[in-house]
Structure 1
Amino acid sequence: MRLSKEVKVALLGIVAITALFFGYRFLKGTDFFTSTKKFYVIYPNVDGLTVSGPVMLNGIRVGVVQEMKLQVDNNNQIKVGITVQEGIPVGDSTIASLTSSDLLGGKAITLFMGKNNVQYKGGETLIPYVERSITTMLTEKAMPVLGQVDSTLVRLNSLLDADAKRNIQSIIANTSATTELLRTTMMANQRNVNAITANISALTTSLRETEEKFSRLASNLNEITDTLRNAPVAALIRNTNNTLQEAQAGITKLNETLSQSNGTVGRLMNDDSLYANMNASTESLNALLQDLKANPKRYVHFSLIGGGTKVKKADNVKTANKVRSATNVEQANNVEEVEKK
């Protein structure tokens, strides 16, 4: 049986319309090859959510947004119909959260499963929840800042009136003049600047030479330190300690000797009677010398004829002997007193 051209065109049109219908439904998120259940969620605002938007569970797409209807009689809330794959345990504790899917404001519905006491079979209304997006938070934070910026710009515009603009222009002109004056001054003092640069260079050279001298001094100090470190300091210290110990022992022995009063040195150091006797003898000798100077004839007599010389000499000798005897007796008495002490 041959079909006419008109029938072929009609059949082709029917196939095209059917393919277009199913393709449109597929693009909207309807899966013809998987069994699904339909549920509803009521949101106060679905800004960014579109039909065929994803329904996610733990990061996996398990359904799509099928429809959205505005409920005028329910405070203009939006009733969203979603389809979920069979086998997903949707129940009375399941939360349908409206979350952000990207930074551009796109929205998706994320399912959070709880401990469901009742399992839904389809057509029930889930618990809604709207999560604040980053865009919303940034908008809330940015709006006050934008208001302040706007007011600041208004104040700045009010300040930048005609007088302020003229003042700014005069400031810019003064700055230009100051710059030109500095340039002229630098050109005029170029020779001085060159001299200063040369002096700085010479100073740098001197500092470099001084640094080299300090380096040599430091190396010499290091050599001296190494020499002192390697010197036999320990043996020198031991010898010094031995010498000091011997000197201390000698001083101790001398003190013990001096502390004994029976010896001659001990008597000289500890008894002052000998000093007293020697002082008395010195005074007697001084008196004798003074008397000899005052009366020399009493001790020495000269005669041209002779005759009385021997007698006078004898008298003088007797007188001198008496003085010596008295002195010796006094010294003997002093020695006896010292020995008694």
Structure 2
Amino acid sequence: MENKAHALAAGLFLLLLGIALAACVFWFQGDHTARTHYTVVARSGVPGLNLKAPVKLRGVEVGWVDSIGFDPDDPRQILVGITVDATAPVSATTHAQLGLQGVTGLSFVSLEEADAQAALTRAPAGARIALKPTLLDRLAESGPLLLAGFAETAGRLNALLSDDNRAQLQRTLAKLEQTATDTSRLMAALQPSAQQLPTVLKDADTTAQRASAALREIETLAVDGRALAADLRARTGVLDRMDAAAQQVQTTSRHLELALVGDTPQRTRPLVSDLSAASRSIERAAHDLGEQPQSLLFGRGARPPGPGERGFEERLKAAAP
């Protein structure tokens, strides 16, 4: 009986020990982290995405994919169920994209924030997150358009590089080469002139200084000319007054001569004649100065030839219209 009791005790001990070990294993292998479920809605395909594929939030793994299937309400949509750590900052503006895991071809779900600077508003449990196409997806969708554009560009290049256009291009290149050669020759010919350019500029500067001095002299001469004209006008006024005085003297002498010619003694008549001659001389001088006032400064000019004198006919021809 004692042997049976010992055997029963040993069996119970082993059973309890196995249960304890199993409980420990289950405890250490179990996941006690709080999780939240979301649904990723994909309008396009999800190639390479499998169950238990990781879910990453800005590069940090926060969960996994637990279901993939079509939307029963809209079969064109694919619903991907994900389980995410409840502490992960999934906001209402978070969107999903598919990323590649190295070179295996397998995909994972990458959660990204639309605006990382905005205030964080957590998405409610079970919320739907839109799956946006990646750059490769957009390139794949626009691939036919790109191929059509490349084909059109190739056709235009073929038309541009026709035989006639290539011949015209060769002629244009030949002309450009000739132009470059002519330009080189022209530059070589202009090089001596360019070397003399500083001297020419210096001479031009000197000429400009001389021209400025000449302009100042001309301005001075203009001022002197205005002063000379004013002086001549003053002298002309004096000459007019002299002319009037001479006429008055001549008139007086004539009256005196007429008054004395009958009863003047013989010795006073020469005096009267001299007075008359002097008055006529003064009148002629005043008349000449009135016609040529510049004779006071530059001397009396030559009188024009009269009838019968040399040069009179040429004078008439020059004066004729």
Query: TM > 0.5 between the two?
Result: no
**TM-score after normalising by structure 2:** 0.39
Bigger radius of gyration: 1
